[in-house]
Structure 1
Amino acid sequence: MIRTLGFSPSLDVVYIVDAVTVGAIHRPSRVLRSAGGKSLNVARALATLGRPAAAIVPLGGRIGEVIVDLLAQTPIELTAVPTADETRMCVTAAASGALTEFYERAPTPSPDAVAAIIAHVDAVPAGDVLAISGAIPDGLDVAAVVAALARCTERGVRVAVDVHGPALGAIIGGAHPWIVKVNRSEAAPITGLPESAELAAHAAGLQRVGAGLVVLTDGADGSFATDSAGRSWRATSTRAPGAFPVGSGDCFFAGLLAELVDGTGIPQALRIAAACGTANAEAPGTATFDLATVEACLAATLVREGDSAG
């Protein structure tokens, strides 16, 4: 079972409009609502790929109830931990290939909610995957989360990480995760290298801190992976980038995890992950791709071994 953990869920709303004009009234031709935040995006992408998925998130207020209702329509096994503050909303206006985004800050879960979440983390069975992703709200007890993830690693849970900020280095150093999936800008504060440094150098820096398999996404330039034995691969696509990239990294993460859990080798897992991320960007909303588009994107995705990824 792949279980996702996030501390910053949201109700994601996408308005499809012809144009965005400051000061004007807009009447969307289409409105999409989904249970969002990176960890829930990963869980929904896993469900789309036909993989069993479970999610642990704090949810509060009426928006939290809406998210519960939305996820009740999916096969995702939801553990909704009650918290005092209203869950946030993230709104995107999509017009002619341009996205105008309004992201509320995630509230900090109450200490009781964090304690309850950690209790659920401590109950994850050995052999499962626990994927933590998304922003860590200000004021959250990061040390307690790191300790819980370290206990997971110690008892045989495979911890996968896609977070940013100071918590990233703490989690890598404390929990020694199975997988770290980040981008250049997220890796640079941990490695101490310029963002423009070769991805191989960023990956090596993350592994020195304690990461296992490192996967670095690089936007339209593809992605790069290196394992603990020093083997590396680069994935690129000849397909034109889509107009809706929000959530593509989460879909990439889901595809990567799904394939690795199934026993697929890293090169093919990286290829499928890249295809999932590309497919997501071709439709409005997050994790709304379809499997036929993934297959089409696979045909345009190439994985090369030994690329240093500048």
Structure 2
Amino acid sequence: MTIHTLGLTPALDIVYVLDQVRLGAIHRPPVVIRSAGGKSLNVARALARLGLPVRAIAPLGGRIGELVADLLRVSAVEVDRIPTEIETRLCVSAADTSARSLTEFYEPVVAFDVPLDEIARRTRSVRPGEWLTLSGAVPADVDADALARVLAADVDRGVLLAVDVHGPALGAIIDTAHPRLVKVNRGEASDLTGEADRERAALALVARGAQTAVVTDGEAGSFAVTASGERVVAAVVDRPGLFPVGSGDCFLAGLVGVLDRGGSLGEALAVAAEVGAANAQVPGAAVFDVEPRRTS
């Protein structure tokens, strides 16, 4: 079945790879990577790279939006482009390979003009039993409670909802839609639950309404707990890389991809860690080279 990704803040991602980044200097990077970006589109491209059929739902505006849509199609992603008058933003990263550092410039989302009714119309085509992921920032102009009600209607139809957002929208969606899966990092989980410990934070997310909560914790790996009481601890893959941008999105893609194929939560976490680590090895999000283990 198709996996559907929804994101409200897509971008054109540009990565410059240089030997050195010097303040105030002119740079002519020998390597330039342009890709359809923003968290949800990273997830979509990672799923396609894993060989899964995927449809990306996103507002894409102006000429930059057209380019992002074209880049998605090249990545074998089905594009469901929501019309918008707002030009799609740019996110630029400069990788200094000598210092092993990233300098990042992300244009903020300053306006959002897509009615939630239009988003609901797109998500209604997701069939019961199919996954719908929502990831990335929810713009301030969006009524988080109304968005949560849209997603709750999909969940009521049998859609499997996976969420990787933060801030007030995360709480509203958990409270109202009770997602099948919530994947956040320890800081995001702590902000919502008040729990600094990843295990207590994950338990608090489940107590609040998530059916499964996965809390990632950098080099400490990840912890998952389900509403039925299953607990899984996954170690990090010991392959630190220079290019971590998008690794969390690739983690989510690996997680949902295995669950979609009927794999266990433990298998899903192991593959997710492999995919996230592979992403950090090469410049550009979701352009990893990995052969994750297959599920039966």
TM-score class normalised by the smaller sequence: over 0.9
Matching of residue 21 in structure 1 with residue 28 in structure 2: no
Distance 1:189 1:221 in 2: 19
Which runs of no fewer than 5 residues in structure 1 stay unpaired? 299-310
2:186 is the alignment partner of 1:187? no
CA distance in 2, matches of 1:268, 1:69: 33
Matched, 1:137 2:139: yes
Q: Is the contact made by 2:59 and 2:114 (CA closer than 8 Å) also made in structure 1?
A: no
Partner of 1:41: 42
Q: Kindly provide the CA deviation profile for residues 158-210 of structure 1, in whole angstroms up to 9, marking residues without a partner as x.
A: 110000111000000010000000011111122122x3x2x110011111110
Instruction: Identify the match of residue 120 of structure 2 among 97, 118, 121.
Output: 118
Aligned ranges 1:285-300 → 2 under 5 Å: 285-292=284-291, 294=292
Q: Contact 1:58–1:109 (CA<8 Å) still a contact in 2?
A: no
CA contact (8 A) 1:256 1:273 kept: yes
Paired AA for residue 263 in structure 1: G
* Structure-1 separation of matches of 2:144 and 2:165: 12
SS at match of 1:242: coil
For the residue of structure 2 that corresponds to 1:172, the secondary structure is helix
Unaligned residue ranges in structure 2 (runs of 5+):
none
Corresponding position of 1:68: 69
Could you tell me how far apart the structure 2 residues matched to 1:200 and 1:142 are?
A: 26
For 2:120 and 2:285, the matched residues in 1 are separated by: 27
| 1:168 aligned onto 2:167 | no
| Aligned twin of 1:147 | 149
State the percentage of identical aligned residues.
Answer: 51
Shift of 1:111: 4.1
Which letter does structure 1 place at the counterpart of 2:11?
Answer: S
- Is the 1:85–1:107 Cα contact (8 Å) retained in structure 2? no
Distance in 1 between residues matched to 2:236 and 2:117, nearest whole Å: 43
- Equivalent position of 2:111 in the other structure: 108
Matches within 5 A, 1:1-310: 1-96=2-97, 97-112=100-115, 114-193=116-195, 195=196, 197=197, 199-237=198-236, 239-292=238-291, 294=292
Once residues 57 and 107 of structure 1 are traced to their aligned partners in structure 2, the CA distance between those partners, rounded to angstroms, is 16
* Offset of residue 109 of structure 1: 2.4
Q: Distance in 2 between matches of 1:268 and 1:121?
A: 28
Quick check: 1:20–1:26 contact (8 Å CA) kept in 2?
Answer: yes
Q: CA contact under 8 A between 1:9 and 1:106: conserved in structure 2?
A: no
Runs in 1 of length 4+ with deviation above 3 angstroms? none
Q: Indicate how the Cα distance of structure 1 residues 66 and 226 shifts in structure 2: closer, same or farther if over 3 A, else same.
A: same
Give the conservation status (yes or no) of the 8 Å contact 2:193–2:205: yes
Inter-partner Cα distance in structure 2 for 1:137 and 1:238 = 33
2:211 & 2:253 partners in 1: Cα distance? 18
The number of residues matched between the two structures is 291
Superposition CA RMSD, Å: 1.4
The answer to whether the 8 A contact 1:5-1:39 is kept is yes
Secondary structure of 2:268's aligned partner: helix
Alpha-carbon displacement from aligned partner over 1:229-277 (angstroms, at most 9, x marks no partner):
2221111135231111000000000000010010011111110011000
Q: Is the 8 A contact 1:4 1:40 kept in 2?
A: yes
